[in-house]
Chain A
Amino acid sequence: MDHRGTKLLTFAALTLAVTAASAAPKENRGLSALAWLEPRGALQALSNEPDRRLHVRSSENPAATDDPGSTKRRWQQISAGEILFHTPILLGGQAAKAGISCASCHVNGRDNAHFQFPGVSHDPGTADVTHSFFSSFRGDDHFNPVSIPDLTRPGKISHENPEELEKFIRGLIVEEFDGQEPGNAALTALAAYVRALRPCDGCSPRPLIMTTHLGRVKQALSAAVQIEASEQRLSHLLIGGARTQLSLIHERYADKKLARERTAITKLSVDLATLQDNIGVRSARYYQLHRKATDQIQALRKLLADSESRSLYNPERLEAYLEKHAIRQRPTH
């Protein structure tokens, strides 16, 4: 079947939505994840996420003796990898522009039963990974979506074989999504994260709250300062990842009475842009900016916690928002 001829008329509503957004205030562009979530599952997907379980070995060789330094280093890589996994600019082209990251399909490394990207998915939880819309390299001119795999389960790529997983991840970034070369350090971090993922069968979903996202901001900054100064690309991506998480918080604080909160969130992101500009130097100013940002996160956490119930992290408000949004998005032709 020709993929262009299939499931594409969803663009009708999308295009109308573009129009609606064009007239909307700049500050309130809606929840970005709705671009790839099926409407019926959006509330659930935006309210909860599967719990995550990570396991680390200090060496890829199970027989190797663990040493505390190696284990610490491995956790640092996993932590950085987890942020990259949530960072759209790691990918390229249309995916990055849409705000899609690895985690959009693999929530906390699992699958995503509610992922349904117009024209690229068929049933929820599927995606055509050889679609020219996303890829300049892998388009096969056929609409052949596949189920999104749970990365905590054994898959077609061995997690144990050294370098095989890194090579596979590089192919995803560069060829499947038209991204730039991520560099060895980023690939090592991503592979470390994927290798550390473990099933969590008895776990209940955990609520998706403000600190979920703000925690990742802090995690990203922490990871960025720990890595080698020479790893500029990785540092840039990590701080970019922090800014992405701030945008996710910003879009949840949509109420017009939460302007102060939005201003504080934006201010931190702009300061992080300055930090990104200073990555190559690692001068005293870089560390000064880093400390300032860390302090800002603390202050922001308190400010946001006080008004979280009025934000779209509150499931009741989120549900009302989604209902209103669905009405507004109804196509008229």
Chain B
Amino acid sequence: MRRSLTLLATGAALSLSAIPFAVNAAGGGGGGGGFSGSPSQSAPRYDASAEYQKGRTALQAKDYKKAIKAFKRSLSVASKNANAQYLLGFSYMKLDNHKKAKKPLEKAVKLSPGLIDAHRDLAITYHKLGNTEKANSTLGKLTAKQNACGDSCAEKAQLNAAVAAVQSTMGGNEQASLQLPQSFGLVDGQTSDAVYLSAVSLINEGQYEAALLELDEAGKTFGPHPDVLTYIGFANRKMKRFDIAEEYYQRALTVAPNHLGAIEYYGELKIERGDLAGAQQHLVRLEKLCAFGCYEAEELRRWITEAQSS
């Protein structure tokens, strides 16, 4: 359910000194730093969301080499992020390096089959590389989506444009300008901020499907942000999609190992699956991280106590 997202431009100035609310609120620690000092982690470790946003900024400035560097750094931490894979491929395309664009675009469509832009650009890339068979196959997937969509689905315009772009390129016309879609926030980056807040509110209202749509949009701007990933996990868990929930909690903890919200919710998931001992381990971890106490530990402790008494 898409709410009004007309934003007041004055908000940004007011928020300049706001500190990591979301760190404590949604994530209770955000990244939180504090990576352990094991040998495997002695190599540079990047903030996946920050690097993703650097990449977006570089794309906006048409600095594609810088964008590639940033997306690679983001992916070095969060390799399963379809948006980062897509934008890496897109950046290579802007440099006419279709050979290098292919792999990240393939990963993007595999990780996120609904990412229409990635399908479009992958088809174009195959065509540029002379792989007509794969180009046609990918175009076929797009047209299948288009046909399934019919006249009323939300992605109709996007699908039509994507199919037209691929057909035009395969027909010998160079695409006039390879533009990144607005949904990736390059034009209206602030919309995603509102979408994120809206998503959390929708979760509180129990509208999980609607929340997931908004979190997906927010993820296009923020990339593999632990708060976004955690709430995707949370919404899926509330819909009893436990495997997907676990996957996203793990992704959140990959980019931010000390993310309090992810540790708490993952612990709650373990209780729902009957793994009380696993949940206890999460509580121990939270207690260690929260030297001054925290709500996440309080909540998980309550869940464990209730599970023990039931």
Given A135-B204, A136-B205, A250-B292, the answer on whether A8 and B15 have CB atoms closer than 8 Å is no
Given A23, A133, A246, A330, which contacts B50 in the complex, CB threshold below 8 Å? A23
Complexed CA–CA distance, A185 and B267 (Å): 30
Is the CB of B274 closer than 8 A to any CB of chain A? no
Given A9-B8, A19-B50, the answer on whether A136 and B18 have CB atoms closer than 8 Å is no
Which chain A residue lies CB-closest to B199?
A4
Shortest CB–CB separation between residue A274 and chain B, in angstroms?
Answer: 11
Contact A4 B4 (CB under 8 A): yes
Complexed CA–CA distance, A244 and B205 (Å): 29
Given A17-B20, A21-B31, A118-B15, the answer on whether A35 and B292 have CB atoms closer than 8 Å is no
Binds A, one of B147-155, B157-165, B189-197: B189-197
Complexed CA–CA distance, A21 and B198 (Å): 23
Contact B33 A22 (CB under 8 A): yes
Which chain A residue lies CB-closest to B32?
A26
Shortest CB–CB separation between residue A70 and chain B, in angstroms?
Answer: 33
Shortest CB–CB separation between residue A280 and chain B, in angstroms?
Answer: 12
Complexed CA–CA distance, A23 and B296 (Å): 21
Contact A329 B225 (CB under 8 A): no
Contact A92 B7 (CB under 8 A): no
Complexed CA–CA distance, A131 and B202 (Å): 11
Complexed CA–CA distance, A97 and B261 (Å): 9
Task: Digitize A165-198: 1 where CB-to-B-CB distance is under 8 Å, 0 elsewhere.
Answer: 0000000000000101000000000000000000
In the complex, which range does the number of interface residues on chain A fall in?
A: 35 or more
Contact A10 B15 (CB under 8 A): yes
Contact A39 B16 (CB under 8 A): yes
In the complex, which range does the number of interface residues on chain B fall in?
A: 35 or more
Contact B24 A13 (CB under 8 A): no
Is the CB of B11 closer than 8 A to any CB of chain A? yes
- Please give, as numbers and ranges, the residues of chain B lying within 8 Å of A93 by CB-CB distance: 204
Contact A15 B225 (CB under 8 A): yes
Task: Digitize B121-145: 1 where CB-to-A-CB distance is under 8 Å, 0 elsewhere.
Answer: 0000000000000000000000000
Given A32-B24, A243-B292, the answer on whether A10 and B33 have CB atoms closer than 8 Å is no
Contact B33 A26 (CB under 8 A): yes
Complexed CA–CA distance, A325 and B226 (Å): 23
Contact A22 B50 (CB under 8 A): yes
Complexed CA–CA distance, A189 and B287 (Å): 28
Is the CB of A119 closer than 8 A to any CB of chain B? yes
21 sample A-B contacts, Cβ–Cβ < 8 Å, listed by A number: A4-B197, A5-B3, A5-B7, A6-B6, A8-B11, A9-B194, A10-B12, A10-B15, A13-B12, A22-B31, A24-B33, A26-B32, A30-B20, A37-B17, A96-B295, A117-B21, A119-B194, A134-B204, A243-B293, A247-B292, A332-B57
